[in-house]
């Protein structure tokens, strides 16, 4: 499972011209689910993301988590994070989980984040979405649950 985190002042997502999810100050999270990912992958990422100290304290040092600042999140499914671009110029997405499994784990990840944060907005799985955000910093971090699993070993 891969996640791209962006520290934001605000973010929103529209489907068919209507806002379906938004957040204030906090994180916009693009989440990609790969074949073989499990609930453990979602738990590892959700825990790490909720506690990641990438927000500034009073001294301007990145010392606070999204939980510490009472921040929010916007979580958007993003199967293209699983793109394989090694061959040719058209990426394939064969490493992506099948839609039903990806949606299940996306929903599970959102539920884990909702336990940690006061507000978690979301997109609509599989929809054509238009995302708007005001990047804060900018601070952008790419995470992979496989890296977190190796840390545990």
Catalytic residue list: 78-80
- Three-class DSSP category at 9: strand
Q: What is the largest CA-CA distance in the chain?
A: 49
- Three-class DSSP category at 139: strand
Question: H or E segment at 116?
Answer: helix 99-116
Q: Which residues contact 44 (CB under 8 A, 6 or more apart)?
A: 145, 148, 149
Of the candidates 62, 56, 52, the residue with the CA atom closest to the CA atom of residue 29: 52
The pairing of strands 2-15 and 26-32 is antiparallel
């Amino acid at each position: 499972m891969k996640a791209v985190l962006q520290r934001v002042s605000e973010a929103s997502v529209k489907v068919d011209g209507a806002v379906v999810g938004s957040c204030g100050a906090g994180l916009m999270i693009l989440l990609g689910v790969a074949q073989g990912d499990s609930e453990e992958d979602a738990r590892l990422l959700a825990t790490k993301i909720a506690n990641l100290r990438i927000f500034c304290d009073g001294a301007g040092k990145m010392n606070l988590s999204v939980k510490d600042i009472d921040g929010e999140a916007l979580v958007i499914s993003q199967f293209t994070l699983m793109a394989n671009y090694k061959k040719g110029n058209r990426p394939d997405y064969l490493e992506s989980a099948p839609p039903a499994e990806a949606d299940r784990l996306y929903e599970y990840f959102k539920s884990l984040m909702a336990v940690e944060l006061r507000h978690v907005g979301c997109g609509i799985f599989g929809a054509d979405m238009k995302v708007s955000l005001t990047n804060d910093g900018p601070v952008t971090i790419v995470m992979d649950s496989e890296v977190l699993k190796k840390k545990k070993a």
